[in-house]
Amino acid sequence: MRIGLGVWSLFVGLMAVFSHTHAAVSIEQLQIEGGDIVLVVRGEFEFGDRPEALSAAVTQSGARVVTFNSDGGNVHAAMAFGRTIRALGLETIQLRAAECASACALAFVGGVRRAAEPGSIGVHQSSFSGDAALNVTRRSQLFRP
C-alpha cells in the first residue's frame, strides 16, 4: 500500500475535515499531497444506507483508498460497505485523528490491504435483535483474501 501517499498530509486533511459525526453515512473526497484522492466514509451507518454511493464516488474520483469517521451504527449496513470496498479492490487506512468504532470496523476490514494506527479502531461485541436475519453465506466474501 502506498502508505507513503502522504500520511502526514492525510492526517492534516483529516483534522481539517472531521468534526463530530452525524447520522447517516456520507462520502466525502479528500485530496492529499500529490493529488491522490482518499474517500472518507463519515457518519453513522443506517439500515437504509446503500454502498452504491461509494461505488459512484470511486468511479467519479478514481480513489483507491478509503478512511472513516464513524462511531458505528447498523451492522448490516457496515458489512455491505465492507463487501463493496472489497469488491472494488480498495485499501483502507485509519488514523487516530478520526474515529472508526463499533460497526465501522466491519466496513474497515473490507479493505484488500488495511493499515490502522494503534487505538484508531474501537471494537466491541455486536448485538442483533432476535428477528435480525444475518446472511452467513456472504460472510466469507467479506474476509476473502
Which CATH number does the domain housing residue 36 bear?
A: 3.90.226
- Beta carbons within 8 Å of 32's beta carbon, 6+ residues apart: 5, 6, 9, 10, 13, 38
Give percent above pLDDT 70 in the chain: 69
| Burial class of residue 19 (count of CB atoms within 10 Å of its CB; 0-12, 13-18, 19+) | exposed
- Look at residue 112 and tell me if it is in a domain: yes
Question: What does the pLDDT average to over 2-26?
Answer: 53
Number of domains in the chain: 1
- Which residue type does 104 have? C
- Beta carbons within 8 Å of 16's beta carbon, 6+ residues apart: none
- Look at residue 20 and tell me if it is in a domain: yes
Per the CB < 8 A criterion, the answer to whether 54 and 83 are in contact is no
- Look at residue 53 and tell me if it is in a domain: yes
Question: What does the pLDDT average to over 59-81?
Answer: 96
Structural domain of 29: 7-143
**Residue 131 confidence (pLDDT):** 55
- Which residue type does 86 have? R
66/86 Cα distance (integer angstroms):
11
- Look at residue 77 and tell me if it is in a domain: yes
- Look at residue 1 and tell me if it is in a domain: no
With 60 as the cut, is the pLDDT of residue 141 above it?
no
**Residue 122 confidence (pLDDT):** 87
Question: What does the pLDDT average to over 34-47?
Answer: 94
- Look at residue 2 and tell me if it is in a domain: no
- Look at residue 132 and tell me if it is in a domain: yes
- Look at residue 103 and tell me if it is in a domain: yes
pLDDT digit string, tens, across residues 77-101: 999 999 999 999 999 999 999 989 9
Give the number of other Cβ atoms within 10 Å of residue 122's Cβ.
Answer: 13
**Residue 16 confidence (pLDDT):** 46
pLDDT bracket for residue 1 (50, 70, 90): very low
**Residue 36 confidence (pLDDT):** 93
